[in-house]
Amino acid sequence: MQLRRRTSPRPRHVASAAVAAMVALAAVAAFYFSSPASAQQASASASCADPVTSAPTGAASVSAASTAFGKVLVVGSGAYAGCSLYLLTSDQLHALSGSDFACSDNPNALGAPCDSVLWPALLTAGAPVAGPGINPTLLGTVTRTDLPGLSSVQQVTYAGQPLYRFVFDETPGETEGANLFDPVTSPTGTWYLVDPSRGRIAPCQARLRLETAPINGTGPDETVLAAAMNDDFSLFPDASFPVYTLSTDSGHTSACEGQCSLIWSPVLTSGPPNAEPGVDQHNLGIIVRADGTHQVTYNGKPLYLFAGDAYIQGLPYGPARINGDGVSSALGTFHAIPLP
């Protein structure tokens, strides 16, 4: 597909925002790794952002709470009661193939373990307890041996998906991690709140817009259809990422399931998608995926995000770019959608 070139400059966040992002994330890592005393002080404060520094001593509880995203999972009791809980789409790779968890203590650009500092795992000693609004049959555990300083612990799962808090959620009810397209995880994935009724992803109402970025990061700027993500993430809010169609998708169904969907994440929505200026609302639609989630379509074709496009402004993952156009897989070829 030949993308049409647009000569107008790509909107950019101001430099101060990028610097603020780097400073804030560096401060988080420095705080939690400065000394044992710092970690103990953080735990005593009972902030939703507290890191995991020791094995649990009791059973974790999970409840449901009402948010702008509908009913979602939260910590049910104890010091972190009311703190939002998230799942990571690329953690599914562990269940599919036995590979490492995508949010682990592997090295990353932030220098802080994903599973204990950036996205603290919800741990439990014994079977987790179902609070109000929770289906107890969906609660479970998975053994983790990759948390720094801990040999073997149990992480709470819901419908088989491991649950985490987020380092930028400080108080109950905050949802900074919702719909966050995260390049820090390995492989890249999207963080979502969790619907308590069936354990499905609880996304926002999708918004489609124009994004102008270079092809493969070095080519000319092109204007393509994009999705808004990172809804509440204070360091890089309302970010835009190009979306793609798959050549073999037909009949309003998606051929990209399983491991394909870990690289090409479906653009999900909680209701009819909204078109922002430059996008025709009549071209947007929805299909129901095999897992019951709702995927956005454009002219009847399901839309996807590409893991290779994920970045956070100001961090060493590169700027906005269109890396997925023309990429072929066993299922077909992915294409960006040029718009005037």
Grade residue 245 by pLDDT with cuts at 50, 70 and 90.
very high
Q: In this structure, which long-range contacts are made by residues 137-141, counting pairs with CB atoms below 8 Å and at least 24 apart in sequence? A: 138/198, 138/199, 139/62
Residue 337's pLDDT is 97
Boundaries of domain holding 279: 204-336
Q: What are the distances in angstroms from CA 90 to CA 76, 204, 266?
A: 25, 19, 12
Closest CA to 266 of 199, 192, 210: 192
Are 185 and 105 within one domain?
yes
Mean pLDDT of 197-213: 96
Residue 22's pLDDT is 43
Are 147 and 221 within one domain?
no
> Does 40 fall in a domain?
no
Provide the number of structural domains found in the chain.
Answer: 2
Q: What is the pLDDT of residues 313-340, one digit of tens each?
A: 888 877 899 999 999 999 999 999 999 8
Stated pTM of the model: 0.88
> Does 167 fall in a domain?
yes
Are 89 and 182 within one domain?
yes
Q: What is the pLDDT of residues 6-30, one digit of tens each?
A: 433 333 333 344 334 444 454 444 4
pLDDT at 148 over 80: yes
End position of a domain, from candidates 135, 167, 202: 202
End position of a domain, from candidates 136, 168, 202: 202
Are 230 and 165 within one domain?
no
> Does 87 fall in a domain?
yes
Estimate the crossing angle of helix 15-33 against helix 36-45, to 10 degrees.
Answer: 100
CB 62 within 8 A of CB 134: yes
End position of a domain, from candidates 182, 202, 222: 202
Q: What angle do CA 309, 176, 262 make, to 5 degrees?
A: 35
Give bridge partners of residue 207 from the DSSP assignment.
274
Are 185 and 214 within one domain?
no
Compute, in degrees rounded to 10, the torsion defined by CA atoms 164, 51, 32, 179: 20
Q: What are the strands, taking DSSP E only, across 215-337?
A: 221-229, 239-242, 244-246, 264-266, 274-275, 284-288, 294-298, 301-302, 304-306, 328-329, 332-336
Are 177 and 82 within one domain?
yes
